[in-house]
Structure 1
Amino acid sequence: MHLGWQAKQRPDAIAVIESGGRTVTYAELDARSRQLAAAIGLRPGDALAIRMPSGAAFLEVAWAAQRSGLLYTPVNTHLLPAEVEEMAQGKLLITEEVYERLLAAPGTGEFEECEGRELPFSGGTTGRPKAVRKQLTAGPMGDPAAECVQVAQGSAHFWREDERLRGFTPPVRLDLRGVGARAAAYGITGFTNADPHPGQDLPELLSVLPQRLVVMGIGDAPVKFLLDDATLPTPGELAASVAAVRPRPVAVHCVTRVQLLVTLLALEEAGPVAGDRIEHGSVIPAETMPWLARLGVTVVTQPHFPVERGREYATDVDPDDQAHLYRCRSLAKAGIPLAAGTDAPYGSADPWAVMRAAVKRSGGEAVARRAALDLFAGEPQRPSRVKRLAVGSVADLCLLHVPLKEALDLMSADVVRATFVGGRRITPPE
């Protein structure tokens, strides 16, 4: 239930207990959020940014925005001024000082009551913050029917709201057997599921896939940490989270400079272990590469993204980051363990297409054809360690129609004759 409902049903109940022991009731939150909504003076559909520490005051401003039809962006208090300016992008910026002035300002207390939404920013795969705009319903607060109408019309954009949407949509049958068959035709012998919050039943659900499966966070697989600039932890906080899961390795989602820096500082403090990895490494400045090499952290990159999305990156990515996007050859030359992933469904599901892109990269990032193949030939838990066949080893392999040299020249799934997992053929018989 949203806060307005709580204020009506339980006005005197405690809504917030702050670190100093101060308590705030739902009625108090309701009154101040109304006062702020009127004082802010924006119209439904307008946007603002909130840069305030966590606490009742932040909640009051966010609720004021949400109940008056505004799009609001929480801005991490640890960001640098230039990063704050990037995310605020000309919007009204609410700080602690502005908050106090708004509360002190005289006003009518009147505003148009309709539901607003959070306007989060994503580094995406470009490294530059971009607004993930969500459709406003123009309906009353907490009306799920209004949201469902917007989804049905195809006009809404949602950002990491799977759990919320799951309650509004019927279950969809997953054709996992079809996914497995298509992957087998590419010569794929294993999948890594990188969900940061996997259900304990996920391995069982995915067990119909004929490929080997690594589910991050389950068993001895790496634990996934998903970072967003808007909610970025401090290096110390991330280090504590990493230390809490040791001795297991971690896989940290890094798509911006600041995310990479926080991760490296956290790993330095917590201490790296074998199997630690950086997921994506969208922006890796040259000066951080010796640090990465010293820590021995594997980078699992997507070398095809700059090829597939070149036009988008040319306009969306900060010019200072252009030379550092999805490094490949330069990481290998620096002695950094390297592997690649398709990042499907966000990128091509065809590893051969990724290899073709890797050998065509510009800016000194192109790799040799055999090196491109090796990006996908790693061991499941050590993706940068190329797996070699030996007598008596488990037969997870891709059998080709043609010699390897010819296959590397073609770099196409057409060269795949059969795929085996554990010695069992998972492609149809000829």
Structure 2
Amino acid sequence: MSLLLRGAETGAGPADCRVHDGRVHALAPELAPRRGERVIDARGGALLPGLTDHHIHLLATAAAMDSVRLTPGADLATAVRAAPAPHGWVRVLGYDEIRHGDLDRDVLDALEPARPVRVQHRGGSLWVLNSAALRRLGLDAGPLPPGVELDGGGRPTGRLWRADAVLRERLPLPPPDLSRLGAVLAAYGITSVTDATPDLDEQGVAHITAAMARGDLPQRVTFLGAAAPPPQARRAALGPRKIVVPDHTLPSPDDLAAAIRAARAARRAVALHCVTREALALIIAALTETGTVPGDRLEHCAVASPDALEFLARHDLRVITQPSLPAARGDDYLARVDPEDLPDLWRYAGFLRAGVRVAPSSDAPYGGLDPWAAMAAARDRATPSGLVLGPAERVPARTVLDGALSHPLDPGGPPARLAVGAPADLVLLRVPLARALREPDSSLVALTVIEGRIAYEAAP
């Protein structure tokens, strides 16, 4: 396919851009159209390399599109009773114990005793199942896998911690369709994603790569949770090894160090899930013992003290942050988080001032998928009520964009630039870049090209 974008704003000034055989074939002030070539008038809109979402859960995000999501003011009982049950299961997301009350199997049984129900905490680490669901999955008695919480009498409470792998193994449901998610990502100008699903099994990898091959998921994918490189999967890559440091039950320093050494033995860096101050202290202790390697990164790093920043910078540990979360949950953080943690919460500018490289991401479905909304959120740090969470952590929208333009295997590194010979993963905006950065909005995406093919085209 040959495509000519005429009159685009580029880093080197106004130019035409020819795309051919999946590459940027030419950039020049004026290019003559070729026979059979599609010509698109860019009308002075900015032409950029495609964006990367550096931390997303593909299968969970696709499944969330067909699930009931609780809003802050929603009534849990109403949501459960009115929820559809595709494949016979009720799936509810966004549970918050403060807003919706304490939840276990007995509470869910009172709301829905017949249909199997699973409710996910908004943070993603906890599922709560009713008795029908526990029986269906064989989690009500007998030998139980790790993560199944028991009460004082040894009875499952219905609360499953970090048990996504158990659910994937035992839940007799087809994997979610990825085509809708692929289209939404393309409409945001996202041409590459890093899948952060921990311990992603071969079936999950195969489902994702098959969707890529069909074109349902046109984006390039870097896998953190896969144990081995995807077999013969074009546009797929293996990244650092995802290691979850669970907040509710921290591993011993020796166990974490052993997991890091296992990744090193497989010649992989590590991507360490890290939310709390205690988890970060444990990670620093383990990495002090094992040493660091290029590519090591921290996912979230939601609370980071000044002493921790110095360690991260000295060892070139990247941080993958989620600017949308302070915007969406800022009021809750201000009300609930330990006051000692607030100055160190969801840093962005503080990481950069300390010399820590940072890349933005969505953490979808647990955070907002829209990278343009994330740019505005990081710039403003405004909570839903209009308060400001950590004004010293504000960064310009351009900083977030540059992070989204960094390579998936070099998050927070140099932003990609338009260049002849580079892969034709491109996003064309309706307006010049300066205006887009003043008013970041996904509606400004006019065209997304992945490997030289149009993946999204806005209506005129």
TM-score (normalizing by structure 2): 0.59
Q: Is the 8 A contact 1:268 1:295 kept in 2?
A: no
8 Å CA contact 2:446, 2:457 repeated in 1: no
Q: Match for residue 298 of structure 1?
A: 318
Report SS of the residue matched to 1:203. Answer: helix
Equivalent position to 1:379, from 404, 407, 418: 407
- How far residue 403 of structure 1 moved from its aligned partner, in angstroms, is 0.8
Partners of 2:221 and 2:341 lie apart in 1 by 34
Which of the two has higher C-alpha Rg? 1
Residue 187 of structure 2, aligned match among 185, 188, 193: 185
The amino acid across from 1:287 in the alignment is D
Q: How many residues align?
A: 295
Aligned to 2:426: 397
The 5 Å alignment of 1:108-127 reads 124=123
Are residue 212 (structure 1) and residue 220 (structure 2) matched? yes
Which amino acid letter does the alignment assign opposite residue 188 of structure 1?
I
Match of 1:88 in 2: none
**Aligned residue number for residue 427 of structure 1:** 456
* Correspondence for 2:284 among 248, 254, 264: 264
Aligned partners of 1:123 and 1:228 also within 8 Å: no
Residue 395 of structure 1 aligns to a residue whose secondary structure is coil
Cα separation, 2, equivalents of 1:136 and 1:172:
21
Distance 2:368 2:325 in 1: 9
Secondary structure of the residue aligned to 1:309 is helix
The DSSP-based 3-state class of the residue aligned with 1:189 is: strand
Separation of aligned partners in 2, 1:248 and 1:164: 25
Q: Which of 1 and 2 has higher RCO (CA within 8 Å, sep 6+)? A: 2
CA offsets per residue over residues 330-384 of structure 1, 9 Å max, x none? 1011110110111100011111111110000243011012112112111011111
- Measure, in 2, the Cα distance between the counterparts of 1:257 and 1:378: 27
Kindly provide the amino acid, as one letter, of the partner of residue 260 in structure 1: L
Quick one: distance in 2 between partners of 1:147 and 1:240? 29
Aligned-partner Cα distance in 1 for 2:222–2:159: 30
Distance 1:384 1:133, change over 3 A: closer
Q: Is the 8 A contact 1:395 1:420 kept in 2?
A: yes
Is 2:166 aligned against 1:161? no
Bigger share in helix: 1
TM-fit CA distance, 1:410: 1.7
| Deviation by residue 1:46-93 (Cα, 9 ceiling, x = unmatched) | xxxxxxxxxxxxxxxxxxxxxxxxxxxxxxxxxxxxxxxxxxxxxxxx
SS of residue in 2 equivalent to 1:364: helix
CA distance in structure 2 between the partners assigned to 1:400 and 1:249 by the alignment: 35
Query: Which secondary structure does the structure 2 equivalent of 1:266 belong to?
Result: helix
Check if 1:250 corresponds to 2:307: no
Q: In the TM superposition, what whole-angstrom CA distance separates every residue of 1:189-221 from its partner, at most 9, and x where no partner exists?
A: 111111111112433311321000011134341
How does the TM-score come out when normalised to structure 1?
Answer: 0.63
Q: Percent identity?
A: 39
Compute the displacement of 1:241 (Å): 1.9
Secondary structure of the structure 1 residue equivalent to 2:283: helix
Gaps of 5+ in 2: 1-120, 141-156, 212-216, 230-237, 382-389
Question: What RMSD over aligned residues (CA atoms) do the two structures have, in Å?
Answer: 2.8
Letter in 1 for 2:163: E
Please show how residues 84-233 of structure 1 align to structure 2 within 5 Å: 124=123, 134=128, 137=131, 143-144=135-136, 158-165=160-167, 169-172=171-174, 174-207=176-209, 208=211, 209-216=217-224, 217=226, 218-219=228-229, 220-233=238-251
